[in-house]
Amino acid sequence: MLDFNKAIEVAQDIYWVGKYLENDSFQCHPYLILNGESCVLIDPGSMLEYDELIAKVETLTSMKNVKYIIAHHQDPDICAAIPLLEKIINRDDLQVVTHKRTAALIKHYGINSEYLYISDNSVLQLSNGKILKFLTTPYAHAPGAFVTYDSMTKTLFSSDIFGGLNESWNFYADENYFEAVKLFHENYMPSREILNYSLNKIQALDIELILPQHGSIIQKKYISDLIDKLKKLDCGMYISSQYKIELLKLQDSLELEKNRYKENLEHLKTIINMQDNMIIVNANGKIVESNQAFLNFFRKNSLEQFLDEERCLCDKFISVDDNRYISSTHCINEWQEYVMKNPEIEHRVIMKNFSNDMITFKVQVRKLLTKEMQKHYVTTFIDITKDVRELDILQILSEIDDFHYIIYDKLQQKYKASKSFSAMLDIPMNGDMKNIEIRDYFQKTDCLKILKSVHKDSDKFEITLKNKHKNISFMIQSYKSYIENSLKHVFILIDISAIRQIELESKQRDTLMFQQSKMAQMGEMISMIAHQWRQPINAISASSIKLSLSNTLDKLTSDGIEEHAVFVQKQCQKMSNVIDSFMSYSSNRSEEKNFHLRDVIKTINDFVSVQYSAHNINIVIENDSSLDDVVYGREDMLEQVLLNLFSNSKDAFEKSDLEIEKCICVKYTTPKEIVVEDNAGGVDDSIIDKLFTPYLTTKDKGKGTGLGLYMGRRIMNEHFDGNLTYKKVDNKSYFIIQVGKMNE
């Protein structure tokens, strides 16, 4: 015997926490899923169950452990108690799980918690391993209704579906439960179709137990039979019989109109699918149907208006002295028969539209037999004005010296070439283009580009053409077009030799500027070498004096000679290392390769550290252990950029009168970015915008070329796909080197 005064476990960690209402056929059932501090309360109910619900939950866990409240629909028997429960639970992270349509209504209860909106097949993952899956069941019985499925225990929280009305209520359903379900669903579900939509979704689940919000809990042995019976149930019985009759009549009327529409639509498709553009259907010389494109062309509201105002369509044809064009003197049946009997000809007609524009059409005619076996002609007018004008324009452009074209047909046979192209290759204009092998004038790689382009609708690429005198650079734009009734491949060639020559000269100037900038830095490096050599030379000199004095005092020993020799070798090795570093930098290492950023920074630091230390400038390398990114390019170019930034910082310190601890800091905190920072006061605000322009220098006359920063940005842009930028913050300078091209 079940004790309804206590919470009842119906599945693993799932409890009934409702209240048994005596002599009430409308029992309401809230459920609790235990989940530590994130428990789930399902359909908590109204004020009728409020006190007992809290008491039962508290026997299982604290109300403060409830994190989710699921509201399957908006009715008060589910939601009325939620505002009071919010105050008891008192959690900032409490969420009401529901559908957006339901949330729009239940907010009027005064609910303050955050909403977690469900959608069809969305899930809620619980920490105890349970996964709650939500299935929308629209209009069963509310627009935003849904059900919840626990895949671990195979339990379905079905809300109003499977609910029952039964005064002799049983906690668990028996074999007679359908009668209670029938009574509820006939009055609360709007239609069989709507209910079956939801039942089909539910039937696809593997269910052991159904927990409805009303009625009795349903065990697996009754589920299948119950679903089958519900699918056959007539719902919406609260509607009056007269209203139902009217609805059925309306449904039949709509179905009849739907069938008529389908027939008309199929008829329309028969016409439209045959051809595009303007279409007319005529019989016995009279147009009986047309599409909207035809009416739009002549700006007519209907075919009847056209027939009232025009004697014959043929009157609209403009005569052309060309056998491909249909004459206005033929009647409609005559030229239609002619078109069908001569399919090898591209039949054309020219007509003026309502704006008096001359439009060229390709004409196609088909016969169509109606149900009454009457012969109809379906004529399609395809606008080819663009193609005709395109060929005319190409003919005109072919007179321009630097504009060339060549056209191939679909079989890759040469169809036509411009006069300028023929003249450039010394091909007679009256010669047979099909006998000229164009590929002989191109390199093999360029021929492959041309072949690949014919498989694309459009393409753009560069090639080099070889004639008898010189190589000529061309930019080719290729596209497909219907010309003269067949698909053609058009290649337009633009001579860009002059542009390439300018680019070459510009590249040579850049190389010269690069060398000027580098030579200026090498001069400064030589002074660094002299400074770094001074210490070992002085040390060798002092050691030699000491050795000579020992000899004079007759205190020279073999150990002393050996010690002096080792010392001199070490100092010479230092000097040799300095020279090696200088030779490595000054050599023209033009090859591109993979190199480490840390090696570049170390090389520059080794160059400048001794001299900068002599000027009381401290160099700090931050995050040195992470400088392990590999960059692809010319190592000497990046070295030049860094060396110039170090040199600029040193010069800024020399000009500054700030009483500070001088420091140059190299930071490498994010991938592909190096920041060189100094505290020398920053660049004057008046020249920041012009900082990277050529020949701008803030150094004293004769001490700077004004190319360092300009070339630095050019190097980063063009050789490393990156950038060199500057910002000033609190009288500190920040030069940011961004490297785009990493290792290959």
Output Rg (C-alpha) for the chain, integer angstroms: 45
Distance CA 368, CA 287 (A): 14
> Tell me: the pLDDT tens digits for 102-113?
999 999 999 999
Other Cβ atoms closer than 10 A to 393: 11
The domain defined by 274-383 carries CATH number 3.20.20.70: no
- Between helix 497-552 and helix 708-719 the angle, nearest 10°, is 120
Strands (E), 118-187: 123-125, 131-136, 146-150, 155-159
Token pair of 692 as six digits: 């990277």
Where are the alpha helices (H) located in 215-291, listed in sequence order?
Answer: 220-231, 241-272
Task: Give the pTM.
Answer: 0.39
* Closest-CA residue to 347 (of 302, 373, 306, 317): 317
Decide: helix, strand or coil at residue 630.
strand
Domain ranges of the chain: 8-231, 240-272, 274-383, 388-495, 504-738
Token pair of 251 as six digits: 């449904």
DSSP codes of every residue in 300-325: -SSHHHHHHH-S-GGGGPPP-SSTTB
Given this chain, do its domains 8-231 and 388-495 carry the same CATH topology?
A: no
Q: What is the CATH superfamily name and number for domain 388-495?
A: PAS domain (3.30.450.20)
Burial of 214 (0-12, 13-18, 19+ CB in 10 A): buried
Instruction: Judge contact between 464 and 471, C-beta under 8 A.
Output: yes
Distance CA 330, CA 470 (A): 57
Instruction: Judge contact between 320 and 350, C-beta under 8 A.
Output: yes
Cα dihedral 649/653/655/656 (nearest 10): 130
Give the CA distances from residue 443 to residues 392, 449, 454, 617, in Å, rounded to whole numbers and listed in that order.
31, 10, 17, 58
Q: Residue 654 is inside which H or E element, if any? A: helix 635-655
Which residues, given as ranges, of the chain have pLDDT below 50?
273, 430-432, 588, 702
Instruction: Judge contact between 688 and 636, C-beta under 8 A.
Output: no
Domain 504-738 fold: Heat Shock Protein 90 (3.30.565)
CATH of domain 8-231: 3.60.15.10
* Number of residues that make up the chain: 744
CA 671 to chain centre: 23
Distance CA 320, CA 385 (A): 15
Distance CA 679, CA 616 (A): 13
Phi, then psi, of 456 in degrees rounded to 5: -115, 155
**Three-class SS of 600-626:** HHHHHHHHHHHHHHHCCCEEEECCHHH
Distance CA 447, CA 456 (A): 15
Each as own residue / partner, the long-range contacts of residues 57-65 (CB below 8 Å, 24 or more positions apart, any chain) are 57/7, 57/17, 57/32, 59/6, 59/7, 60/7, 60/15, 60/17, 60/32, 60/34, 61/34, 63/88, 63/89, 64/88, 64/89, 64/90, 64/91, 65/36, 65/37, 65/38, 65/39
CA 78 to chain centre: 43
DSSP structural state of residue 172: B
Q: Note the pLDDT of residue 108.
A: 94
Decide: helix, strand or coil at residue 40.
strand
Distance CA 479, CA 502 (A): 29
Q: Which amino acid is present at 70?
A: I
* Closest-CA residue to 316 (of 355, 350, 276): 350
> Tell me: the pLDDT tens digits for 705-725?
567 788 888 888 888 888 999
Q: In sequence order, which residues have a C-beta less than 8 Å from that of residue 339 and are 6 or more positions away?
A: 326, 347, 363, 364, 365
Token pair of 633 as six digits: 């390019």
Instruction: Judge contact between 136 and 149, C-beta under 8 A.
Output: no
Burial of 471 (0-12, 13-18, 19+ CB in 10 A): exposed
Q: Note the pLDDT of residue 290.
A: 83
Distance CA 440, CA 467 (A): 10
